[in-house]
Amino acid sequence: MQFNEHHIGSNILKQACSDPDAFCIEQAGKVFSRGDIAGSAQHLADFFNKENIPSKSAIALICVDRVRGVEAMIALWSIEAQVLFLDPRQTIEEITTARVNAGINAIYTDSPSFARRGGFGLLPSRDSIHDCDINLQFAEGSHNNNALILSSSGTTGLPRYRSITHASFIDGLVTAGRLLNNSIALPTISVGSLAFGAVLSQWIKTLMQGQYLLSLPLFFRTTDLHQALCRPNIKVIGLPPVIIGDLLDFHGEDCATDTQHAYPHIKTMSSIGGPISPETLAKAYRVLTPGVRNMYSMSGVGAVSLLSGKDIIEKPNSVGKPFPEITVRIEDDNGHMQPTGEVGHIIARPDWREGAALIDTGDMGWIDADGYLFIAGRSAQIACRNSINVNLSDLEQDVKKLNGVRDCIAFTTLADGSADDLIFLAVESRTDATDLRATIRSAISSYRRPDQIMISTHLPRTSSNKISLRILKNNLTEMGGDFVDF
Protein backbone atom coordinates (compact mmCIF):
# COMPACT_ATOMS: atom_id res chain seq x y z
CA MET A 1 0.00 0.00 0.00
CA GLN A 2 1.83 3.06 -1.29
CA PHE A 3 0.34 6.50 -1.89
CA ASN A 4 1.81 9.07 -4.25
CA GLU A 5 0.16 11.86 -2.29
CA HIS A 6 0.87 12.55 1.39
CA HIS A 7 -2.48 14.32 1.88
CA ILE A 8 -5.47 12.10 2.70
CA GLY A 9 -7.90 14.25 0.73
CA SER A 10 -5.64 14.34 -2.34
CA ASN A 11 -5.57 10.54 -2.47
CA ILE A 12 -9.37 10.35 -2.18
CA LEU A 13 -9.79 13.03 -4.84
CA LYS A 14 -7.38 11.21 -7.15
CA GLN A 15 -9.63 8.12 -7.05
CA ALA A 16 -12.71 10.24 -7.77
CA CYS A 17 -11.11 11.92 -10.78
CA SER A 18 -9.77 8.64 -12.21
CA ASP A 19 -13.23 7.00 -12.30
CA PRO A 20 -16.00 9.27 -10.96
CA ASP A 21 -18.78 6.77 -11.76
CA ALA A 22 -17.23 3.85 -9.84
CA PHE A 23 -19.36 2.60 -6.94
CA CYS A 24 -17.86 3.69 -3.66
CA ILE A 25 -20.19 3.47 -0.66
CA GLU A 26 -23.55 1.82 -0.07
CA GLN A 27 -25.69 3.00 2.81
CA ALA A 28 -29.40 2.63 3.58
CA GLY A 29 -30.05 1.09 0.16
CA LYS A 30 -28.39 3.93 -1.74
CA VAL A 31 -25.12 3.60 -3.65
CA PHE A 32 -22.77 6.57 -3.90
CA SER A 33 -20.14 6.88 -6.61
CA ARG A 34 -16.69 8.36 -6.06
CA GLY A 35 -17.89 11.42 -7.97
CA ASP A 36 -20.95 11.71 -5.70
CA ILE A 37 -18.71 11.86 -2.62
CA ALA A 38 -16.29 14.37 -4.15
CA GLY A 39 -19.09 16.56 -5.53
CA SER A 40 -20.88 16.61 -2.19
CA ALA A 41 -17.61 17.48 -0.45
CA GLN A 42 -17.17 20.37 -2.90
CA HIS A 43 -20.67 21.62 -2.03
CA LEU A 44 -19.83 21.46 1.67
CA ALA A 45 -16.52 23.23 1.09
CA ASP A 46 -18.47 26.13 -0.41
CA PHE A 47 -20.74 26.07 2.65
CA PHE A 48 -17.81 26.14 5.09
CA ASN A 49 -16.16 28.98 3.18
CA LYS A 50 -19.33 31.04 3.60
CA GLU A 51 -19.21 30.24 7.33
CA ASN A 52 -15.88 32.12 7.43
CA ILE A 53 -14.10 29.37 9.36
CA PRO A 54 -10.51 30.49 9.98
CA SER A 55 -7.75 28.40 8.41
CA LYS A 56 -6.41 25.55 10.57
CA SER A 57 -9.40 25.62 12.91
CA ALA A 58 -10.37 22.56 14.94
CA ILE A 59 -13.89 21.47 13.94
CA ALA A 60 -15.99 18.72 15.52
CA LEU A 61 -18.53 16.76 13.49
CA ILE A 62 -21.54 14.90 14.91
CA CYS A 63 -23.05 12.99 12.02
CA VAL A 64 -25.81 10.39 12.15
CA ASP A 65 -25.24 9.88 8.41
CA ARG A 66 -21.65 8.62 8.22
CA VAL A 67 -21.38 9.34 4.50
CA ARG A 68 -22.26 12.96 5.23
CA GLY A 69 -19.65 13.00 7.97
CA VAL A 70 -16.91 11.81 5.62
CA GLU A 71 -17.94 14.35 2.98
CA ALA A 72 -17.77 17.13 5.57
CA MET A 73 -14.35 15.91 6.71
CA ILE A 74 -12.95 16.11 3.17
CA ALA A 75 -14.49 19.56 2.72
CA LEU A 76 -12.93 20.86 5.93
CA TRP A 77 -9.50 19.69 4.78
CA SER A 78 -9.84 22.01 1.79
CA ILE A 79 -9.80 24.95 4.22
CA GLU A 80 -6.94 23.34 6.19
CA ALA A 81 -9.09 22.51 9.23
CA GLN A 82 -8.55 19.51 11.48
CA VAL A 83 -11.51 17.28 12.33
CA LEU A 84 -12.74 15.52 15.46
CA PHE A 85 -15.67 13.11 15.14
CA LEU A 86 -17.97 12.89 18.15
CA ASP A 87 -20.44 10.08 18.70
CA PRO A 88 -24.08 11.10 18.09
CA ARG A 89 -25.03 8.93 21.07
CA GLN A 90 -23.21 11.32 23.42
CA THR A 91 -25.16 13.78 25.54
CA ILE A 92 -24.95 17.55 25.03
CA GLU A 93 -23.04 17.77 28.32
CA GLU A 94 -20.47 15.20 27.14
CA ILE A 95 -20.10 17.00 23.82
CA THR A 96 -19.55 20.32 25.59
CA THR A 97 -16.83 18.77 27.76
CA ALA A 98 -15.14 17.27 24.70
CA ARG A 99 -15.29 20.65 22.95
CA VAL A 100 -13.39 22.31 25.77
CA ASN A 101 -10.86 19.53 26.33
CA ALA A 102 -10.05 19.11 22.63
CA GLY A 103 -9.85 22.85 21.91
CA ILE A 104 -12.66 22.78 19.34
CA ASN A 105 -13.53 26.06 17.59
CA ALA A 106 -16.94 25.02 16.21
CA ILE A 107 -19.27 22.01 16.00
CA TYR A 108 -21.39 21.01 13.01
CA THR A 109 -24.00 18.28 12.72
CA ASP A 110 -26.38 16.80 10.16
CA SER A 111 -29.07 16.43 12.84
CA PRO A 112 -31.54 19.34 13.17
CA SER A 113 -32.37 18.12 16.67
CA PHE A 114 -28.73 18.19 17.76
CA ALA A 115 -28.22 21.58 16.14
CA ARG A 116 -31.24 23.00 17.97
CA ARG A 117 -30.47 21.51 21.38
CA GLY A 118 -26.73 22.15 21.35
CA GLY A 119 -26.60 25.38 19.39
CA PHE A 120 -24.39 23.69 16.78
CA GLY A 121 -24.03 24.56 13.11
CA LEU A 122 -26.35 22.57 10.82
CA LEU A 123 -24.87 21.05 7.68
CA PRO A 124 -26.93 21.54 4.50
CA SER A 125 -28.84 18.46 3.45
CA ARG A 126 -27.64 16.35 0.57
CA ASP A 127 -30.97 17.05 -1.15
CA SER A 128 -29.84 20.67 -1.57
CA ILE A 129 -26.93 19.61 -3.80
CA HIS A 130 -27.22 20.42 -7.49
CA ASP A 131 -24.80 19.40 -10.20
CA CYS A 132 -21.40 20.38 -8.91
CA ASP A 133 -18.03 20.29 -10.62
CA ILE A 134 -15.23 18.76 -8.60
CA ASN A 135 -12.98 21.74 -7.94
CA LEU A 136 -11.70 20.72 -4.52
CA GLN A 137 -8.17 21.86 -3.87
CA PHE A 138 -5.80 21.22 -1.01
CA ALA A 139 -3.12 23.79 -0.28
CA GLU A 140 0.44 22.94 -1.26
CA GLY A 141 2.34 21.61 1.73
CA SER A 142 -0.86 21.03 3.72
CA HIS A 143 0.02 17.35 4.15
CA ASN A 144 2.00 18.56 7.16
CA ASN A 145 -1.12 20.19 8.62
CA ASN A 146 -3.12 18.44 11.31
CA ALA A 147 -5.85 16.37 9.66
CA LEU A 148 -7.62 14.68 12.54
CA ILE A 149 -8.03 14.87 16.28
CA LEU A 150 -8.05 11.31 17.57
CA SER A 151 -9.49 10.39 20.96
CA SER A 152 -8.43 7.61 23.29
CA SER A 153 -9.47 6.26 26.67
CA GLY A 154 -6.35 7.73 28.24
CA THR A 155 -5.33 4.41 29.82
CA THR A 156 -1.85 4.50 28.26
CA GLY A 157 -1.09 7.90 29.76
CA LEU A 158 -1.43 9.69 26.43
CA PRO A 159 -3.57 12.83 26.16
CA ARG A 160 -7.30 12.19 25.80
CA TYR A 161 -7.21 14.05 22.47
CA ARG A 162 -4.23 14.29 20.12
CA SER A 163 -3.80 15.77 16.67
CA ILE A 164 -2.22 13.91 13.76
CA THR A 165 -1.08 15.24 10.39
CA HIS A 166 -2.16 13.90 7.00
CA ALA A 167 1.33 12.51 6.35
CA SER A 168 1.60 10.81 9.76
CA PHE A 169 -1.84 9.24 9.46
CA ILE A 170 -0.98 7.80 6.05
CA ASP A 171 2.36 6.50 7.37
CA GLY A 172 0.45 4.75 10.15
CA LEU A 173 -1.96 3.15 7.67
CA VAL A 174 0.93 1.92 5.53
CA THR A 175 2.71 0.44 8.55
CA ALA A 176 -0.45 -1.22 9.86
CA GLY A 177 -1.08 -2.71 6.42
CA ARG A 178 2.41 -4.19 6.39
CA LEU A 179 2.16 -5.58 9.95
CA LEU A 180 -1.30 -7.06 9.47
CA ASN A 181 -0.74 -8.23 5.88
CA ASN A 182 -3.76 -6.27 4.64
CA SER A 183 -2.16 -3.47 2.63
CA ILE A 184 -4.69 -3.78 -0.19
CA ALA A 185 -8.22 -2.71 0.73
CA LEU A 186 -10.94 -5.26 -0.06
CA PRO A 187 -14.74 -4.79 -0.18
CA THR A 188 -15.74 -4.24 3.43
CA ILE A 189 -18.64 -3.79 5.83
CA SER A 190 -18.36 -0.91 8.29
CA VAL A 191 -20.05 -1.13 11.67
CA GLY A 192 -19.85 1.56 14.34
CA SER A 193 -19.22 5.26 14.85
CA LEU A 194 -16.65 7.41 13.04
CA ALA A 195 -15.66 8.61 16.52
CA PHE A 196 -13.94 5.22 16.95
CA GLY A 197 -10.48 5.41 15.40
CA ALA A 198 -10.55 1.88 13.95
CA VAL A 199 -13.79 2.61 12.08
CA LEU A 200 -12.57 5.98 10.79
CA SER A 201 -9.30 4.42 9.59
CA GLN A 202 -11.27 1.75 7.73
CA TRP A 203 -13.31 4.40 5.88
CA ILE A 204 -10.26 6.48 4.98
CA LYS A 205 -8.21 3.50 3.79
CA THR A 206 -11.11 2.25 1.66
CA LEU A 207 -11.72 5.67 0.10
CA MET A 208 -8.03 6.29 -0.61
CA GLN A 209 -7.82 2.97 -2.47
CA GLY A 210 -11.12 3.43 -4.30
CA GLN A 211 -12.64 0.27 -2.85
CA TYR A 212 -16.28 -0.56 -2.01
CA LEU A 213 -17.69 -0.08 1.51
CA LEU A 214 -21.10 -1.17 2.82
CA SER A 215 -22.11 1.06 5.73
CA LEU A 216 -24.55 -0.35 8.29
CA PRO A 217 -26.49 2.08 10.52
CA LEU A 218 -25.40 2.73 14.10
CA PHE A 219 -28.29 0.58 15.30
CA PHE A 220 -28.99 -2.60 13.37
CA ARG A 221 -30.42 -6.08 13.85
CA THR A 222 -28.24 -9.17 13.81
CA THR A 223 -30.34 -10.33 10.84
CA ASP A 224 -29.25 -7.22 8.91
CA LEU A 225 -25.60 -7.95 9.65
CA HIS A 226 -26.02 -11.58 8.63
CA GLN A 227 -27.57 -10.60 5.30
CA ALA A 228 -24.73 -8.16 4.65
CA LEU A 229 -22.12 -10.80 5.48
CA CYS A 230 -23.77 -13.23 3.06
CA ARG A 231 -22.97 -10.98 0.11
CA PRO A 232 -20.29 -12.85 -1.85
CA ASN A 233 -18.42 -9.66 -2.77
CA ILE A 234 -17.79 -8.71 0.87
CA LYS A 235 -14.38 -9.85 2.12
CA VAL A 236 -13.53 -7.85 5.26
CA ILE A 237 -15.24 -6.73 8.46
CA GLY A 238 -14.24 -5.50 11.90
CA LEU A 239 -16.65 -6.26 14.75
CA PRO A 240 -16.71 -5.61 18.51
CA PRO A 241 -16.59 -8.84 20.57
CA VAL A 242 -20.19 -8.42 21.72
CA ILE A 243 -21.41 -8.34 18.09
CA ILE A 244 -19.38 -11.46 17.26
CA GLY A 245 -21.16 -13.08 20.20
CA ASP A 246 -24.53 -11.96 18.80
CA LEU A 247 -23.68 -13.60 15.46
CA LEU A 248 -22.80 -16.86 17.21
CA ASP A 249 -26.10 -16.77 19.12
CA PHE A 250 -27.89 -16.08 15.83
CA HIS A 251 -26.43 -19.20 14.23
CA GLY A 252 -26.83 -21.47 17.24
CA GLU A 253 -24.75 -24.47 18.22
CA ASP A 254 -24.96 -26.62 15.10
CA CYS A 255 -24.43 -24.04 12.38
CA ALA A 256 -21.14 -25.25 10.99
CA THR A 257 -18.32 -27.76 11.10
CA ASP A 258 -14.60 -27.22 10.69
CA THR A 259 -15.04 -27.50 6.92
CA GLN A 260 -18.29 -25.58 6.52
CA HIS A 261 -18.49 -22.06 7.86
CA ALA A 262 -21.32 -19.54 7.90
CA TYR A 263 -19.23 -17.02 5.91
CA PRO A 264 -16.43 -18.93 4.14
CA HIS A 265 -15.86 -16.06 1.69
CA ILE A 266 -14.96 -13.58 4.46
CA LYS A 267 -11.16 -13.35 4.37
CA THR A 268 -10.82 -11.24 7.52
CA MET A 269 -13.15 -10.81 10.49
CA SER A 270 -11.26 -8.76 13.07
CA SER A 271 -12.30 -8.46 16.70
CA ILE A 272 -11.91 -4.76 17.55
CA GLY A 273 -12.77 -2.49 20.45
CA GLY A 274 -11.91 -4.57 23.51
CA PRO A 275 -10.92 -8.05 24.64
CA ILE A 276 -12.69 -11.10 23.27
CA SER A 277 -12.94 -14.26 25.33
CA PRO A 278 -10.94 -17.29 24.14
CA GLU A 279 -14.15 -19.32 23.97
CA THR A 280 -15.90 -16.78 21.74
CA LEU A 281 -12.87 -16.43 19.47
CA ALA A 282 -12.42 -20.19 19.07
CA LYS A 283 -16.12 -20.68 18.37
CA ALA A 284 -16.08 -17.88 15.78
CA TYR A 285 -13.11 -19.60 14.11
CA ARG A 286 -15.10 -22.86 13.92
CA VAL A 287 -18.52 -21.42 13.07
CA LEU A 288 -18.23 -18.06 11.31
CA THR A 289 -15.03 -17.94 9.25
CA PRO A 290 -11.46 -19.24 9.52
CA GLY A 291 -10.49 -15.63 8.78
CA VAL A 292 -11.45 -14.46 12.27
CA ARG A 293 -8.60 -12.87 14.22
CA ASN A 294 -7.89 -10.95 17.40
CA MET A 295 -5.61 -7.90 17.29
CA TYR A 296 -4.05 -6.39 20.40
CA SER A 297 -3.47 -2.67 19.92
CA MET A 298 -3.45 0.59 21.83
CA SER A 299 -3.22 4.35 21.39
CA GLY A 300 0.30 5.60 20.83
CA VAL A 301 1.59 2.21 19.71
CA GLY A 302 -0.89 0.84 17.19
CA ALA A 303 -1.02 -2.87 16.44
CA VAL A 304 1.11 -4.86 18.89
CA SER A 305 0.25 -8.48 18.09
CA LEU A 306 -2.21 -10.65 16.20
CA LEU A 307 -3.74 -14.06 16.92
CA SER A 308 -5.12 -15.84 13.86
CA GLY A 309 -5.40 -19.18 12.08
CA LYS A 310 -4.63 -22.36 14.00
CA ASP A 311 -3.01 -20.34 16.79
CA ILE A 312 -6.58 -19.53 17.89
CA ILE A 313 -7.05 -23.21 18.73
CA GLU A 314 -3.52 -23.92 19.95
CA LYS A 315 -3.00 -20.71 21.98
CA PRO A 316 -6.59 -19.53 22.62
CA ASN A 317 -5.75 -17.44 25.70
CA SER A 318 -3.00 -15.52 23.92
CA VAL A 319 -3.14 -12.35 21.81
CA GLY A 320 -0.40 -13.70 19.53
CA LYS A 321 3.29 -12.99 19.08
CA PRO A 322 4.31 -9.31 19.12
CA PHE A 323 5.26 -8.01 15.68
CA PRO A 324 9.02 -7.76 15.00
CA GLU A 325 8.65 -3.98 14.59
CA ILE A 326 7.22 -3.66 18.13
CA THR A 327 9.29 -3.90 21.30
CA VAL A 328 7.35 -5.52 24.15
CA ARG A 329 8.74 -5.78 27.68
CA ILE A 330 7.22 -7.32 30.79
CA GLU A 331 8.32 -5.33 33.83
CA ASP A 332 7.79 -5.58 37.58
CA ASP A 333 6.66 -2.66 39.72
CA ASN A 334 10.23 -1.34 39.84
CA GLY A 335 10.77 -1.37 36.08
CA HIS A 336 12.88 -4.55 36.02
CA MET A 337 12.37 -7.20 33.34
CA GLN A 338 10.28 -10.18 34.43
CA PRO A 339 11.41 -13.75 33.66
CA THR A 340 9.59 -15.70 30.94
CA GLY A 341 6.12 -16.69 32.09
CA GLU A 342 5.98 -14.20 34.98
CA VAL A 343 3.18 -11.62 35.10
CA GLY A 344 4.11 -7.95 34.97
CA HIS A 345 3.32 -4.60 33.38
CA ILE A 346 3.18 -4.72 29.56
CA ILE A 347 5.44 -1.99 28.16
CA ALA A 348 5.50 -1.42 24.38
CA ARG A 349 7.25 0.75 21.79
CA PRO A 350 6.59 1.06 18.03
CA ASP A 351 10.15 0.78 16.68
CA TRP A 352 8.96 1.71 13.18
CA ARG A 353 8.21 5.23 14.44
CA GLU A 354 11.29 7.43 14.72
CA GLY A 355 11.96 8.63 18.25
CA ALA A 356 9.14 6.58 19.79
CA ALA A 357 9.31 6.04 23.55
CA LEU A 358 8.31 3.06 25.66
CA ILE A 359 4.66 3.30 26.74
CA ASP A 360 3.04 1.64 29.74
CA THR A 361 -0.03 0.03 28.21
CA GLY A 362 -1.82 -0.19 31.54
CA ASP A 363 -2.22 -3.93 30.97
CA MET A 364 -0.74 -6.79 32.97
CA GLY A 365 0.48 -9.91 31.20
CA TRP A 366 3.28 -12.31 30.40
CA ILE A 367 5.18 -13.85 27.48
CA ASP A 368 5.52 -17.63 27.32
CA ALA A 369 8.51 -19.69 26.19
CA ASP A 370 7.21 -19.70 22.60
CA GLY A 371 7.08 -15.89 22.48
CA TYR A 372 3.28 -15.53 22.70
CA LEU A 373 1.85 -12.60 24.65
CA PHE A 374 -0.91 -13.16 27.21
CA ILE A 375 -3.07 -10.53 28.91
CA ALA A 376 -3.83 -10.97 32.61
CA GLY A 377 -6.01 -7.87 32.79
CA ARG A 378 -5.79 -4.14 33.42
CA SER A 379 -3.45 -3.10 36.22
CA ALA A 380 -6.44 -1.24 37.67
CA GLN A 381 -8.62 -4.37 37.52
CA ILE A 382 -7.39 -5.97 40.73
CA ALA A 383 -9.76 -5.40 43.64
CA CYS A 384 -8.85 -6.06 47.27
CA ARG A 385 -11.54 -7.12 49.74
CA ASN A 386 -11.00 -8.75 53.11
CA SER A 387 -7.27 -8.90 52.26
CA ILE A 388 -8.06 -11.09 49.24
CA ASN A 389 -7.30 -9.98 45.68
CA VAL A 390 -10.08 -10.36 43.11
CA ASN A 391 -9.22 -10.21 39.40
CA LEU A 392 -12.12 -8.29 37.88
CA SER A 393 -11.19 -9.33 34.35
CA ASP A 394 -11.50 -13.01 35.32
CA LEU A 395 -14.81 -12.26 37.04
CA GLU A 396 -16.14 -10.63 33.86
CA GLN A 397 -15.04 -13.53 31.66
CA ASP A 398 -16.68 -16.11 33.95
CA VAL A 399 -19.97 -14.19 34.04
CA LYS A 400 -19.95 -13.78 30.24
CA LYS A 401 -19.86 -17.58 29.90
CA LEU A 402 -23.25 -17.92 31.61
CA ASN A 403 -26.34 -18.54 29.51
CA GLY A 404 -28.28 -15.39 28.74
CA VAL A 405 -25.42 -12.96 29.43
CA ARG A 406 -24.63 -10.75 26.43
CA ASP A 407 -21.95 -8.64 28.10
CA CYS A 408 -20.83 -7.36 31.49
CA ILE A 409 -18.34 -5.11 33.26
CA ALA A 410 -16.96 -5.10 36.81
CA PHE A 411 -15.47 -2.12 38.64
CA THR A 412 -14.74 -0.92 42.16
CA THR A 413 -15.08 2.01 44.52
CA LEU A 414 -13.64 2.33 48.01
CA ALA A 415 -16.02 1.35 50.79
CA ASP A 416 -16.87 4.16 53.21
CA GLY A 417 -14.58 4.12 56.24
CA SER A 418 -12.70 1.07 54.99
CA ALA A 419 -9.64 0.21 52.91
CA ASP A 420 -11.64 -2.50 51.15
CA ASP A 421 -12.95 -2.18 47.60
CA LEU A 422 -16.65 -2.42 46.83
CA ILE A 423 -17.15 -4.54 43.72
CA PHE A 424 -19.90 -3.56 41.27
CA LEU A 425 -21.06 -5.78 38.41
CA ALA A 426 -23.21 -4.49 35.52
CA VAL A 427 -24.71 -7.21 33.33
CA GLU A 428 -26.45 -6.87 29.96
CA SER A 429 -29.07 -9.60 29.66
CA ARG A 430 -32.72 -10.23 28.88
CA THR A 431 -32.90 -13.00 31.48
CA ASP A 432 -35.08 -12.49 34.55
CA ALA A 433 -32.96 -10.59 37.07
CA THR A 434 -33.79 -12.85 40.02
CA ASP A 435 -32.95 -15.99 38.05
CA LEU A 436 -29.72 -14.50 36.71
CA ARG A 437 -28.55 -13.42 40.17
CA ALA A 438 -29.12 -16.98 41.37
CA THR A 439 -27.15 -18.35 38.41
CA ILE A 440 -24.24 -16.00 39.10
CA ARG A 441 -24.30 -16.84 42.80
CA SER A 442 -24.04 -20.56 42.07
CA ALA A 443 -21.30 -20.12 39.45
CA ILE A 444 -19.01 -17.64 41.24
CA SER A 445 -17.05 -18.37 44.43
CA SER A 446 -18.19 -16.34 47.43
CA TYR A 447 -14.96 -14.34 47.72
CA ARG A 448 -15.35 -13.13 44.09
CA ARG A 449 -19.03 -12.21 44.16
CA PRO A 450 -19.95 -8.55 43.63
CA ASP A 451 -21.27 -6.37 46.43
CA GLN A 452 -23.70 -4.62 44.08
CA ILE A 453 -25.21 -5.72 40.78
CA MET A 454 -27.19 -4.13 37.98
CA ILE A 455 -28.94 -6.18 35.30
CA SER A 456 -30.24 -4.36 32.24
CA THR A 457 -31.31 -5.24 28.71
CA HIS A 458 -29.10 -2.40 27.41
CA LEU A 459 -26.03 -0.89 29.05
CA PRO A 460 -24.54 2.47 27.94
CA ARG A 461 -21.76 2.14 25.36
CA THR A 462 -18.85 4.13 23.99
CA SER A 463 -18.11 4.89 20.33
CA SER A 464 -16.05 1.67 20.17
CA ASN A 465 -19.10 -0.27 21.46
CA LYS A 466 -17.51 -1.05 24.82
CA ILE A 467 -19.69 -0.72 27.91
CA SER A 468 -19.21 2.84 29.17
CA LEU A 469 -17.58 2.58 32.58
CA ARG A 470 -17.56 6.36 32.89
CA ILE A 471 -21.34 6.64 32.53
CA LEU A 472 -21.95 3.80 34.98
CA LYS A 473 -19.66 5.40 37.55
CA ASN A 474 -21.21 8.84 37.01
CA ASN A 475 -24.70 7.43 37.52
CA LEU A 476 -23.53 5.65 40.63
CA THR A 477 -22.04 8.86 42.04
CA GLU A 478 -24.99 11.07 41.17
CA MET A 479 -27.96 8.95 42.16
CA GLY A 480 -26.85 5.50 43.18
CA GLY A 481 -27.61 4.21 39.71
CA ASP A 482 -29.63 1.05 39.27
CA PHE A 483 -27.34 -1.13 41.37
CA VAL A 484 -28.81 -3.28 44.14
CA ASP A 485 -27.26 -5.49 46.81
CA PHE A 486 -26.14 -8.80 45.38
* β-strands 344-350, 326-331 pairing: antiparallel
- Each residue's pLDDT, cut to its tens digit, for the chain (486 residues) gives 567 678 999 999 999 999 999 999 999 999 999 999 999 999 999 999 999 999 899 999 999 999 999 999 999 999 999 999 999 988 898 899 999 999 999 999 999 999 999 999 999 988 765 555 667 888 888 889 999 999 876 555 567 899 999 999 999 899 888 888 888 999 999 999 999 999 999 999 999 999 999 999 988 999 999 999 999 999 999 999 999 999 999 998 655 555 689 999 999 999 988 888 899 999 999 999 999 999 998 877 888 999 999 999 999 999 999 999 999 999 998 899 999 999 999 999 998 888 888 988 888 899 999 999 998 877 667 788 877 888 888 899 899 999 999 999 999 887 776 678 889 999 999 999 999 999 999 999 988 999 999 999 999 988 888 898 888 888 776 655 688 898
Per-residue confidence (pLDDT) for residue 130, from 0 to 100: 53
Cα–Cα distance list, 303 to 86, 175, 266, 350, 373 (Å): 23, 9, 21, 9, 13
Q: Can you give the pLDDT at residue 413? A: 83
Contacts of residue 159, Cβ cutoff 8 Å, sequence gap at least 6: 152
pTM of the model: 0.86
* Domain ranges across the chain: 8-208, 382-485
Does the domain at residues 382-485 carry the CATH identifier 3.30.300.30? yes
Q: Which of 16, 56, 60, 21 is nearest to 38 (CA)?
A: 16
Options 3.50.50.60, 3.40.30.10, 3.40.50.970, 3.40.50.12780; CATH for 8-208 is 3.40.50.12780
